[in-house]
A and B are shown apart, each in its own frame.
Chain A
Amino acid sequence: MLIRPSEITDKSVYLSRRQLIAGAAAAGLLPSALLADPLSNLGKSPFSTDEKPNSLKDITSYNNFYEFGLEKEDPSKYAPGRLKTRPWTINVDGECNKPGRVDIDGFLKESRLEERIYRHRCVEAWSMVIPWVGVPLSDFLKKFEPNSRAKYVSFTTLNDTSQMPGIRMLSSFSWPYREGLRIDEAMHPLTLLAVGIYGETLLPQNGAPIRLVVPWKYGFKSIKSIVAISFTETQPKTLWNQAASNEYGFYSNVNPSVDHPRWSQAKEHRIGEFGRRPTLMFNGYADQVASLYSGMDLVKYF
């Protein structure tokens, strides 16, 4: 069960604390990008797990976002204060009838946000439970009226070396960060376009202001800080697949029986626990998503 700060703290105290923090930020005591804004009227979802979510501190201080460096702490060190999340637009084009540009604030205003507590499994064999806030990706995509040639959806992360010091450090990578889904994966009700964590807006290190969450795939598929979405007829190129196609397949569904060349995928280290727990097929979402892959050789299409 989730307890939001607003539920345990008197609202006036809570708001004045926010003002205090905002004042400190204005005075230059805190980088303003550290501030998250509360999101209101969140719906609950039957897709949420009842497992205990990781702490906000763990979620916001341990993750990969190579645009800000290679170490797990680098995104939380270097993204706040560097990543400018306003103004922010997402360009949507490709095989659709109504391509367009979406302003993030307009999107937030008109969207009915809901909370989705999902297991998150990194390809490096660690995992967390994260209370995301967002909208089903399908709700977002349908507005652009994808046509019959839209077989895949590709996503692109902001690619700005002035904000993202890690890009130059990894010059061998084919930036920008790109990811892709098959259209039925993108339209699946579990697939989320996330804008928040723990009832507040995403912090820069977690892919603010808007990112993908595909809970049955390894974490790198859940692309961060999205600036472009495109409907395509052919399977889109993705950054990790281009970097090492034998290690990172296009599908990258969580699968305990298909090892990564470097890591056994049979077990995972849940952050905050000792030892390792067994990894579940499709990260525990087999009931919802296994039918997407019926008849497919998941060793070949790893």
Chain B
Amino acid sequence: MTGKWVRPLAHLACAIPLFWLAGEAALDLLGANPVEKGIRFLGDWALKFLILALAVTPVRRWTGWNILAGYRRMLGLWAFAYVVLHLFGYVVLDQYFDWQNIGHEIVKHKFITAGMAALTLLIPLAVTSTNGMIKRMGGRNWRRLHYAIYAAVPLAAVHYIWMVKAGIIQPLTYLAITLLLLLSRAVYARRQ
């Protein structure tokens, strides 16, 4: 797993949902409400990547595959990329820069509030993701800041739960996996 091609290939794999979405859009396969479909698709993949990033460390500990650690940042940044596209879809295509209405929705509608809170927590993590920033902040501070992911992922899952009006099995599954991953970290931390 150390070939030069592994990392580019992993990036390519992370981009597959984007190619998929672009293809569906180009072939007019997104149905009567392509904006809603695209935004939900991007949000779903943002949450999937967040959970994958959160899973790296526990899975590495269970399996001893230390190679995985080198992909944690990649998964986290891809998650952020999907989050940003999800947000752009909402602000540009859905709301068309109607800041007044967006402000109203953030305050009045709790699923938007939760989503925006999760997004806000993720911004400093993405900004401080470079090696230079880790060095500048010091490992300890950097790690402390990045604990914010433990709040951001459950918030994102709750954002999804509060969004749906029926059929909460899929969003609940995401939340359950997230909580299991957090629990495994808590158990590990206590054992140390």
Say yes or no: B32 contacts A262, CB within 8 Å: no
Report the stretch among A101-109, A230-238, A269-277, A280-288 that lies at the interface.
Answer: A269-277
- Pick the contact of B166: A73, A173, A274 (CB < 8 A): A173
B residues near A275, Cβ cutoff 8 Å? 95-96, 98
Say yes or no: A269 contacts B33, CB within 8 Å: yes
A242-288 contacts to B (CB < 8 Å): 243-244, 247, 259, 261-264, 266-267, 269, 271-272, 274-276
Q: In this assembly, does B138 line the interface, its C-beta being within 8 Å of a C-beta of chain A?
A: no
A57-101 contacts to B (CB < 8 Å): 57-58, 61-62, 66, 70, 72-73
Q: A61-B32, A272-B32 are in contact. Are A262 and B93 (CB under 8 A)?
A: no
Q: In this assembly, does A169 line the interface, its C-beta being within 8 Å of a C-beta of chain B?
A: yes
Q: In this assembly, does A126 line the interface, its C-beta being within 8 Å of a C-beta of chain B?
A: yes
Cα–Cα distance between A169 and B170 once the two chains are bound (Å) = 12
Say yes or no: A70 contacts B93, CB within 8 Å: no
B residues near A274, Cβ cutoff 8 Å? 35, 93, 96
Cα–Cα distance between A271 and B35 once the two chains are bound (Å) = 10
Say yes or no: B32 contacts A72, CB within 8 Å: yes
Say yes or no: A126 contacts B96, CB within 8 Å: no
At the interface, is chain B mostly helix, strand, loop or mixed? helix
Q: In this assembly, does A24 line the interface, its C-beta being within 8 Å of a C-beta of chain B?
A: no
A residues near B111, Cβ cutoff 8 Å? 262
A residues near B104, Cβ cutoff 8 Å? 264, 266
Q: In this assembly, does A2 line the interface, its C-beta being within 8 Å of a C-beta of chain B?
A: no
Say yes or no: B162 contacts A262, CB within 8 Å: yes
CB distance from A65 to the nearest CB of B (A): 13
A residues near B24, Cβ cutoff 8 Å? none
A residues near B167, Cβ cutoff 8 Å? 70, 169-170
Q: In this assembly, does B163 line the interface, its C-beta being within 8 Å of a C-beta of chain A?
A: yes
B82-104 contacts to A (CB < 8 Å): 93-96, 98, 101, 104
Say yes or no: B32 contacts A62, CB within 8 Å: yes
Say yes or no: A269 contacts B163, CB within 8 Å: no
Say yes or no: B101 contacts A267, CB within 8 Å: yes
Q: A70-B166, A262-B111 are in contact. Are A57 and B101 (CB under 8 A)?
A: no
A-B contact count (CB 8 A): 62
CB distance from A167 to the nearest CB of B (A): 12
A7-52 contacts to B (CB < 8 Å): none
B residues near A61, Cβ cutoff 8 Å? 31-32
Nearest chain B residue, comparing its CB with the CB of A243: B166
Say yes or no: B95 contacts A276, CB within 8 Å: yes
B residues near A247, Cβ cutoff 8 Å? 165
CB distance from B77 to the nearest CB of A (A): 30
Say yes or no: A269 contacts B32, CB within 8 Å: no
Q: In this assembly, does B4 line the interface, its C-beta being within 8 Å of a C-beta of chain A?
A: no
Say yes or no: B94 contacts A269, CB within 8 Å: yes
Q: A264-B108, A276-B95 are in contact. Are A126 and B33 (CB under 8 A)?
A: yes
Nearest chain A residue, comparing its CB with the CB of B167: A70
CB distance from A54 to the nearest CB of B (A): 8
A residues near B31, Cβ cutoff 8 Å? 61-62, 72-73
Cα–Cα distance between A173 and B167 once the two chains are bound (Å) = 11
Cα–Cα distance between A261 and B111 once the two chains are bound (Å) = 9
Say yes or no: B162 contacts A266, CB within 8 Å: no
CB distance from B62 to the nearest CB of A (A): 33
B residues near A269, Cβ cutoff 8 Å? 33, 35-36, 94
B residues near A276, Cβ cutoff 8 Å? 94-96, 98, 101
A residues near B165, Cβ cutoff 8 Å? 124, 244, 247, 262
Given pairs A170-B167, A276-B96, 19 additional interface contacts (CB within 8 A): A57-B32, A61-B31, A62-B32, A126-B36, A259-B109, A261-B110, A262-B111, A262-B163, A262-B165, A264-B104, A264-B108, A264-B109, A267-B101, A269-B36, A271-B33, A272-B32, A274-B35, A275-B96, A275-B98
7 contacts between A and B (CB under 8 A): A62-B33, A262-B162, A267-B98, A267-B101, A271-B32, A274-B35, A275-B96
Q: Which 10 A-B pairs have the closest CB atoms?
A: A62-B32, A275-B96, A58-B32, A70-B167, A271-B32, A264-B105, A62-B31, A271-B33, A262-B109, A61-B32
